[in-house]
Each structure stands twice: as structure tokens, then as C-alpha cells.
């Protein structure tokens, strides 16, 4: 199997404060999603009393992930993020707000998705992933046909997927990839459905910085498995 292209650059920044170092040492093991080393992982087992499981890929500082956990205490939320600073930040929110319905994985989202059990996710958020704006780096973008095929395996019939970006070229290429996979139906009925933040969106600090080349766009998709035609 060919090596995967990296989706991110450095995974750590400035030295962490003593408090964040403590959270990583003490709190992170309590909420960490185990690495099953190739064995199937049913995320519902991480949340025995949850009615659904949602996944956020690349949660940054954790504002959106924590906000959704706060609003939906009956939903289990799994967040995957490669950057150590982001892990440390959301651990602070988990401790401060006593959020018990969040589990975390540090690393490449593709590895976690590959371990998840089939039809185990009810909702997925991919919000403002690294756009890799240079043409020669487009192959490093997360939302590509091969990843969507892997993600589709983990989605329940009727699951929802939200993709957001503030880079026009990435918005176009991602929308093309989703629409080319006929299991994903774009639910927009008018321009405001993708130009305006959805009513249940939780803004993030990254979004507020406006670092992209366009206003943020939000694409929501409904997932339906393809029916297999069988011969007589």
C-alpha cells in the first residue's frame, strides 16, 4: 500500500503551560480513544448511555466540539486532532465545564476512520481543514474521493456530514468530490443554505480570523448507502 500524504505540518507549537502539561498527563488518558491497532472500534462503546455518536475531524481549539457536547449531552462526540496545542486546549474545556461526552484521538483522522466499525457514526463535521492552497499540495487535502469512500463505510443510513472552508478552490473541489459520490446528497435548496452559517453551528476562533480567500461556506450532506443490484 502506498504511503499516505501528510495532512498537516508541525504537530506541536510553543511549550505548554504547567496546567496544560498536567491535563495531558492526567486527563488525556481518561478521555483518549484507544488505538485498536487494526481491530474494529465501535465508538458507541465509549459512550454507554449515548443515543448517537458524532465525529469532528480537526477540531482546532475545540470550541465547536465543546459547544456541541454542551448542547447535546445525550450524544457522544469523538474529536480527532493532530496538534498538541488543540488537544491541550479542549482538555481545559472538558475539565472546566465537566463535559463527560467527549473522547479524543491525537493523530491522523484517516487512521481513526479506518478503525471505526461500519455504520457507527450519525454525524461528521469537517470544519476548516488545512486548505493546502498551493496546487502542488492539493494531494494533501483531506476531502478527496478516496477519503470519502473510507468515511462512507462508517456512516449510518441517514447520517449527516458538514464540510466548511474559507478557501474558494477547496470549496469547489470538495463539493465536486461529494457530488461525484452518489451516496452523498447536498441538502442546500438556496444560496443562503451554504453562504450562511447553519443555525446549529458553533463559531470558532479560526473562523473569526478570516484567513482564507473567501467568506466561509458550509456544505451539508445527507448520506444514503447505494443499493446493490442483484441478478436473478
Taking only the tens place, the pLDDT of each residue in 89-106 is: 999 999 999 999 999 999
Position 4 confidence tier, pLDDT thresholds 50, 70, 90: low
pLDDT reading at 56 higher than 80: yes
Q: Going from the N-terminus, what domains does the chain have, and what CATH number goes with each?
A: 18-223 (3.40.50.150)
Band of pLDDT at residue 208, cut at 50, 70 and 90? confident
Output the pLDDT for position 13. Answer: 59
Closest CA to 88 of 17, 9, 7, 30: 17
pLDDT computed for residue 11 by the predictor: 47
Percent of the chain predicted with pLDDT > 70: 92
pLDDT range class, residue 5, cuts 50, 70, 90: low
Mean of the pLDDT values across residues 194-198?
A: 96
Q: What is the pLDDT of residues 99-138, one digit of tens each?
A: 999 999 999 999 999 999 999 999 999 999 999 899 899 9
Reported confidence tier of residue 12, pLDDT bands at 50, 70, 90: low
What pLDDT score does 214 carry?
Answer: 95
- Looking at residue 91, what is its pLDDT? 97
pLDDT in tens, 57-76: 999 999 999 999 999 999 99
42 catalytically annotated: no
Of the candidates 39, 130, 169, 192, the residue annotated as catalytic is 130
Give me the pLDDT at residue 1, please. 38
Is residue 145 over pLDDT 50?
yes
Predicted local confidence at residue 229, as pLDDT: 41
pLDDT of residue 152 exceeding 60, the answer is yes
Q: What is the mean pLDDT of the chain?
A: 91
More confident residue, 2 or 208: 208
Amino acid at each position: 500500500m502506498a504511503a499516505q500524504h501528510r495532512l498537516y505540518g508541525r504537530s506541536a507549537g510553543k511549550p505548554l503551560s504547567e496546567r496544560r502539561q498536567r491535563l495531558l498527563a492526567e486527563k488525556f488518558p481518561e478521555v483518549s480513544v484507544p488505538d485498536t491497532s487494526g481491530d474494529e472500534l465501535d465508538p458507541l462503546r465509549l459512550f454507554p448511555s449515548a443515543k448517537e455518536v458524532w465525529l469532528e475531524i480537526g477540531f482546532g481549539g475545540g470550541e465547536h466540539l465543546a459547544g456541541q457536547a454542551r448542547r447535546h449531552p445525550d450524544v457522544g462526540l469523538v474529536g480527532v486532532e493532530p496538534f498538541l496545542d488543540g488537544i491541550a486546549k479542549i482538555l481545559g474545556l472538558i475539565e472546566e465545564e465537566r463535559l463527560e461526552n467527549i473522547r479524543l484521538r491525537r493523530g491522523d483522522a484517516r487512521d481513526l476512520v479506518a478503525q471505526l466499525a461500519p455504520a457507527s457514526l450519525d454525524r461528521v463535521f469537517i470544519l476548516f481543514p488545512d486548505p493546502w492552497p498551493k496546487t502542488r499540495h492539493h494531494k494533501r487535502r483531506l476531502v478527496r474521493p478516496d477519503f470519502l469512500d473510507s468515511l462512507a463505510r462508517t456512516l449510518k443510513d441517514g447520517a449527516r456530514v458538514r464540510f466548511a472552508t474559507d478557501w474558494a478552490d477547496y470549496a469547489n473541489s470538495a463539493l465536486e468530490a461529494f457530488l461525484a459520490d452518489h451516496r452523498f446528497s447536498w441538502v442546500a435548496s438556496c444560496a443562503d443554505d451554504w453562504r450562511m452559517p447553519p443555525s446549529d453551528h458553533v463559531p470558532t476562533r479560526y473562523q473569526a480570523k478570516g484567513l482564507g480567500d473567501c467568506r466561509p461556506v458550509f456544505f451539508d450532506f445527507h448520506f444514503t448507502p447505494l443499493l446493490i443490484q442483484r441478478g436473478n
